[in-house]
């Protein structure tokens, strides 16, 4: 395993298996080892990117804007080791679960908003965030990332999980990924890409920095 994990993220033996883990209150009944909670890469694209040893540049204590927070499965882990973490979710039902996950995490700030309309939360999210993490299952995933690039610091990073089937279920995922990358390059330099199929079928992980 790579030792290039953020501070506050470790591989721990939990239930007899070495697992990615963060220190925090449980959210979805995950296995635990004392104060450490297992981070399941099969339920988290960012967790999969870390397990696949992608160079995310996460070090711990970063300011994070997380798009597509859903019920808080991944963003709760992020808030366990990061600094201020702004979690954008559009759907009211998972947002209620997200609010519950935030109760024990003073650095996690849930926002009921549409990631396709960053102007609706620009008055809340601080500028120059260190990390933009995106897991939004919608058409136009590259467009969302480009429109939210305004929040990133010059040396910040985009950590994007692209779901091919959300873009077009009729096309080959590799063709979808090529189009997403091309559109991204209007706002970002792409540093690394990797298929996440070991954990998430027809997904691509992308690490990029703003131009």
pLDDT tens sequence across 111-141: 999 999 999 999 999 889 999 999 999 999 9
Determine whether the annotation assigns residue 75 to a binding site. no
What pLDDT band is residue 1 in, cutting at 50, 70 and 90? very low
126 is in an annotated binding site: no
Q: Is 130 annotated as a binding residue?
A: no
Q: Evaluate if residue 82 carries a pLDDT over 60.
A: yes
Judge whether 138 is annotated as a binding position: yes
CA atoms within 13 A on the CB side of 100: 12
Sign of CA dihedral 89, 93, 99, 101: negative
C-alpha angle 48/53/59, rounded to 5°?
A: 95
74 assigned binding-site residue: yes
Output the CA angle 128-129-133, nearest 5 degrees.
140
Residue 114 marked ligand-binding? yes
What is the structure's pLDDT at 4? 77
Ligand-binding annotation for 120, yes or no, is no
Superfamily of domain 41-210: Vaccinia Virus protein VP39 (3.40.50.150)
48 labelled as ligand-binding? no
């Amino acid at each position: 395993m790579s030792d290039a994990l953020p501070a506050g993220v470790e591989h721990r033996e939990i239930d007899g298996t070495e697992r990615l883990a963060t220190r925090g209150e449980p959210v979805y009944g995950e296995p635990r080892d004392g104060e450490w909670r297992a981070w399941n890469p099969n339920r988290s694209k960012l967790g999969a990117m870390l397990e696949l040893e992608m160079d995310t540049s996460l070090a711990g204590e970063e300011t994070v804007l997380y798009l597509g927070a859903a019920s808080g499965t991944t963003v709760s882990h992020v808030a366990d080791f990061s600094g201020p973490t702004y979690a954008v979710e559009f759907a009211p039902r998972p947002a209620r679960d997200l609010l519950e996950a935030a109760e024990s995490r003073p650095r996690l700030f849930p926002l009921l908003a549409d990631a396709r309309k960053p102007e609706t939360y620009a008055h809340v999210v601080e500028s120059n965030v260190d990390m933009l993490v995106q897991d939004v299952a919608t058409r136009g995933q590259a467009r969302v990332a480009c429109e939210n690039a305004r929040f990133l610091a010059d040396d910040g990073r985009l950590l994007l999980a692209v779901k091919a089937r959300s873009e077009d279920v009729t096309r080959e995922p590799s063709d979808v990924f090529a189009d997403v990358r091309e559109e991204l390059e209007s706002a970002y330099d792409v540093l690394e890409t990797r298929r996440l199929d070991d954990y998430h079928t027809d997904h691509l992980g992308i690490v990029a920095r703003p131009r």
